[in-house]
Amino acid sequence: MAEEGEVAFTARYKGWMVIKKMSVDEKTTPQEVSAILASVEATMSRKSYEFSGINLSQIDSLADQLIKGKRKSYVALSEALSALKPGELKGELLKSCPTEKHLAIAENYLLKTMLDKMGFKTNLDGETLQQAYPEVKISKPRGNFGKKKN
C-alpha cells in the first residue's frame, strides 16, 4: 500500500504569500499531481519576473506592439521577432532594466510574453491539462492575473 502524503509549496516574502497544497494517497493520479505542480510553477514564474526588478509593463507594451494584429502561427511569430533590428530591440529592452545585467531577464520575459499573447503555451497550465485529461477536476487559480480590477 502506498504511503499518504502531500504536494506542498509555501512561500512568504515581505507582503507576498502563497500556499499550494494537495493531499496525495494511493488513489491520486499522476495527472492530478501534474496539475498542482503546474499551478506552483505558474505562480513561481510570474512572481520571479516581478521580483527581478525589470519593468514588466514596459515589456508588455513592447510585446503588444510587436505582435499587434498577428495570429497564432510560426510565420507570424517570426515576423514579430524580426520587426525590430537587434540593436533597436536591445535598446528598447534596456529601458525596462535597472542595470544592463538585467537584459537577459528582459529578453526572456519578452519572448515568453509574446508567445503567450499569441496563443503559444510556454508553461504547462490547467487549461492544457484539462484538454488532455477532461476527467481530472482542475481548480482554477485564484487571483487577478493581469486583468483590470473594477
Residue with cell 510565420: 75
CB atoms within 10 A of CB 95: 11
Do 60 and 38 lie in a common domain? Answer: no
Task: Quick: pLDDT tens for 44-62.
Answer: 888 999 999 999 999 999 9
State the pTM of this model.
0.79
Question: Looking at the domain assignment, is residue 92 inside a domain?
Answer: yes
Residue with cell 481548480: 139
CB atoms within 10 A of CB 56: 16
Task: Quick: pLDDT tens for 104-135.
Answer: 999 999 999 999 999 998 888 878 888 888 88
Q: Cα 46 from chain centroid?
A: 5
Question: Looking at the domain assignment, is residue 140 inside a domain?
Answer: no
- Comparing 4 with 8, the larger pLDDT belongs to 8
Mean pLDDT of 20-33: 86
Question: Structural domain of residue 114, as residue ranges?
Answer: 56-118
Do 33 and 60 lie in a common domain? Answer: no
Distance CA 105, CA 108 (A): 5
Residue 26 has pLDDT above 70, yes or no: yes
Question: Looking at the domain assignment, is residue 137 inside a domain?
Answer: no
Do 47 and 80 lie in a common domain? Answer: no
Domain total for the chain? 2
